[in-house]
Amino acid sequence: GALIIAPNNFTKSIVSGGPADIAGLSLGDIILAVDGETLTEILSLAEILSTYAPGDTARLLVYRGGETQTFSVVLSDSTSVIY
């Protein structure tokens, strides 16, 4: 999976008002799959998201607090679901 972390003490991984924030994702969440495609060492989050266009909606399977949850995220650009 892909763990959502802050890269340093001065930068947030989830931008206020960005797609991940609007969808309800939080630091510490682990993204396990996107639209049913499981993230692996070979198939990364960036590779999966590179097939989407801005405005597309992706359903993320996320591990949080000992359970899995599904979040829908409307992507804003091709950089990442986090921003």
Q: What is the per-residue pLDDT for 8?
A: 66
Residues 6+ apart with CB under 8 A from 23: 60, 71, 72, 73, 74
pLDDT at residue 44 tops 70: yes
**Angle 28-55-78 from CA coordinates, rounded to 5°:** 60
Specify the pTM.
Answer: 0.81
% of the chain beyond a pLDDT of 90:
53
Predicted local confidence at residue 83, as pLDDT: 45
- Alpha carbon distance 55, 76 (integer Å): 6
Residue 5 has pLDDT above 50, yes or no: yes
Residue 28's contacts (CB-CB under 8 Å, 6 or more residues apart) are 3, 4, 5, 64
- Mean pLDDT calculated for residue range 64-68: 96
Collapsed DSSP state (helix, strand, coil) of residue 45: helix
